[in-house]
Chain A
Amino acid sequence: MRTLTTRMKVWWAVITVVVMVWALLPVVSIIATSFKLPSQLNLGTFWPKTWTTTNYEQIFAGSAKDLFLPALRNSIGISLIATFVAVVLATLAAYAIARLDFRGKRLILTTALGVSIFPVISIVTPLFNLWRSIGLYDTWLGLIIPYLSLTLPISIWTLAAFFRQIPWELEQAAQVDGATPWQAFRKAIVPLAAPGVFTTALIAFFIAWNDFVYGISLTSTSAARPVPAALAFFTGASQFEEPTGAISAAAVVVTVPVVILVLLFQRQIVSGLTQGAVKG
């Protein structure tokens, strides 16, 4: 370990503070805004003069309740289902890619890569039209299906990278020691694969949670509209009220749990992202 001189310590402190301010300021600013009284929004100050939970009451029990709560339910449900389906399909595919020798592996990986570069807007126009004619417009299923175009490719890449590092010979070793094939798989491979599957699920969930284009294009009511889209259509309690406070409160509610997840599992997420993206 290097020893630091006082001057270097000061430099590191400065750099760390600069990076932290840069990374956290916008977040802290929207949290501060969410606690401001509507009448104090235009003071231009960073912190609220008086702290209030009015905005939170408005989105959970007040006038914005009918906009926010269904959207929250839609976001959670649709993102979880899309994540689950993507991770199951991707686990099977990645297992085959890492474990079996067959032509077409490269085709599958290249397809995943190709799918991930598709502009969402190019996909959404025809879907908008088709969904309207077959009744999937403004439904959960109508979002879950296109979300797979976002969650499936990255799940396949991330899981394939994870699965390649698993020493598959362990399974045979366990069988030699007298385990049945299923026992060998369950006891030797599953514990090694589970962290990768979990990390992939987290990443896929963030991506689904983040979607905006599908959300605003393929929904029209609170039946399926997810939070990001709902925020864009938030209007105040009355037409003349600025919805800034309510939007900020809603933004905090959908951000804080996700940020906590990221921070709790930061090690796994970083390794998942970098392994999936650059050869590990």
Chain B
Amino acid sequence: MSDRARDEARLGWWLAGPAFVVMVAVTIYPILQAFYDSLFSYRLTAPGDKAFNGGQNYVVVLSDPVWWQAFWVTALITVITVLVELVLGFLLALVMHRAIRSLRGVLRTAILVPYGIITVVSAFAWFYAFDISSGFVNHWFDWVPGIDPDLNWFAHQGTSLFVIMASEIWKTTPFISLLLLAGLSQVAGELEEAAEVDGATWAQRLQRVVLPNMKAAIMVAVLFRALDAFRIFDNVFIMTNGANGTTVLSLLAYRTSIGRLEIGLGSAISVLLFLCVIGICFIAIKLFKVDLASARGEG
């Protein structure tokens, strides 16, 4: 290694090192601590009793139907919201892509509004809209089959999950559509024109030219949204707080460790959630052969 290269490497680490150290400190340390704590019978209400109990916490959690219920609800929310967001986001991206300049500006402005709103506020907005006594949904939409003015959305699992998922989709579809629009703008242009000259129909161009070239953008959007959805917390906490079978994994972890001060059990749930997230990444990388780093911008 030449002196110059060594100097450059040293300067590089001096500049990037602090960011690196902070990132490691604020995430790696806590997750290792969580792993450690998850192996102890440890509750803050009786801190003196902290005792190593091997994998006992994991046995307790995994044999508890409450955990499995939360797991399946979280998985269901993730799969449905990501699918709907992908379809809606793609439609929206297509609309914006085809729209004339002035309309494109209006549409982009409108869909950036959900992006700028904090999740807690959007959760309250949706909660109030669907509230049986004060919300407008029951009154406006009572002509829709299944909606009557006396329908209490938050009294049942299915309808509660519907509102939770609707708010999640509303909040995050804009982000997906912007990503897809960026992908679309790159692909379109020349490739699409060439295909058009060759006489390809709109559907053919979409299927043969646009979609294959957007694969990376779509996969990244799906993966990141899936990871986000799996950690869903804010809107569930505000709207139902887990009532009627709407407890998700994050909420269960929060309630166990910070609510009931069962640090050992709560840590085990946190670690399991972390492993699920890692699992989603692993599946995505294997299944779609996504090179995350290159798709995210490393040249």
Could you tell me which A residues sit within 8 Å of B by CB distance?
Answer: 1-2, 4, 12, 15-16, 19-20, 22-24, 26-27, 29-30, 33, 41-46, 89-90, 92-93, 95-97, 100-115, 117-130, 145-146, 148-149, 152-153, 156-157, 160-161, 164, 206, 209-210, 212-213, 216-217, 227-228, 231-232, 244, 247-248, 251, 254-255, 258-259, 261-263, 266, 269-270, 273-280
A120 to B296, CA, bound (A): 21
Shortest distance from the beta carbon of B242 to any chain A beta carbon, whole Å: 13
Residues B248-277 near A (CB distance < 8 A)? 249-250, 253-254, 257-258, 263, 266-267, 270-271, 273-274, 277
Is B86 part of the binding interface, using a Cβ–Cβ cutoff of 8 Å? Answer: no
A115-B23, A121-B231, A274-B178 as given contacts; A228 in contact with B111, CB under 8 Å: no
Interface residue range, chain B: 35 or more
Interface of B: prevailing SS:
helix
Contact B254 A213 (CB under 8 A): yes
Task: Jot down 12 A-B pairs with beta carbons below 8 A, ordered by A.
Answer: A26-B122, A29-B129, A102-B11, A111-B20, A119-B230, A120-B231, A122-B273, A125-B257, A248-B128, A263-B113, A263-B116, A276-B296
Give the complex CA separation of A107 and B121 in angstroms: 37
* Cross-chain contact A24 with B30 (CB below 8 angstroms): no
Distance A48 CA – B134 CA, assembled complex (angstroms):
11
In the complex, chain A residues whose CB is within 8 Å of the CB of B253: 121-122, 125
B110 close to A19 (CB less than 8 A): yes
Docked CA distance A15–B100 (Å): 13
| B106 & A20 in contact (Cβ 8 Å cutoff) | yes
**Which residue of A is nearest B250, CB measured?**
A121
Check if A101 sits within 8 Å of B5, measured CB to CB.
yes
Give Cα distance in the complex from A210 to B120, angstroms.
8
Task: List chain B positions with a Cβ less than 8 A from chain A.
Answer: 5, 8-9, 11-13, 15-16, 18-20, 22-24, 26-27, 29-31, 33-34, 37, 44, 92, 95, 99-100, 103, 106-122, 124-126, 128-129, 133-136, 138-140, 149, 167, 170, 174-175, 178-179, 181-183, 216-217, 220-221, 224, 227, 230-231, 233-234, 237-238, 249-250, 253-254, 257-258, 263, 266-267, 270-271, 273-274, 277, 281, 292-299
B114: which A residues are within 8 A, CB to CB? 23, 26-27
Q: Identify A113's interface contact among B108, B216, B293, CB under 8 A.
A: B293
* Contact between B299 and A93, CB atoms less than 8 A apart: no
A42 touches B134 (CB 8 A): yes
State the CA gap A232–B121 with chains docked (Å): 10
Give 5 new A-B contacts, CB below 8 A, not counting A126-B31, A280-B182.
Answer: A30-B125, A30-B128, A112-B23, A213-B233, A251-B124
User: Chain A interface mostly helix, strand, loop or mixed?
Assistant: helix
- Of all chain B residues, the one with the shortest Cβ separation from A12 is B103
Residue on A nearest B167 in the bound complex, by CB? A26
Option from B33, B135, B298 in Cβ contact (under 8 Å) with A44: B135
A108 touches B16 (CB 8 A): yes
Q: Which residues of A contact B266 (CB under 8 A)?
A: 125
Q: Which residues of B contact A33 (CB under 8 A)?
A: 128, 134
Given A26-B125, A97-B16, A273-B175, are A212 and B237 also a contact pair (CB < 8 Å)? yes
Task: Tell whether, in the assembled complex, residue B19 and residue A89 are in contact, meaning their CB atoms are under 8 Å apart.
Answer: yes
State A27–B33 Cα separation when bound (angstroms): 40
Query: Assuming A266-B108, A266-B109, A280-B297, is B92 touching A125 (CB within 8 A)?
Result: no
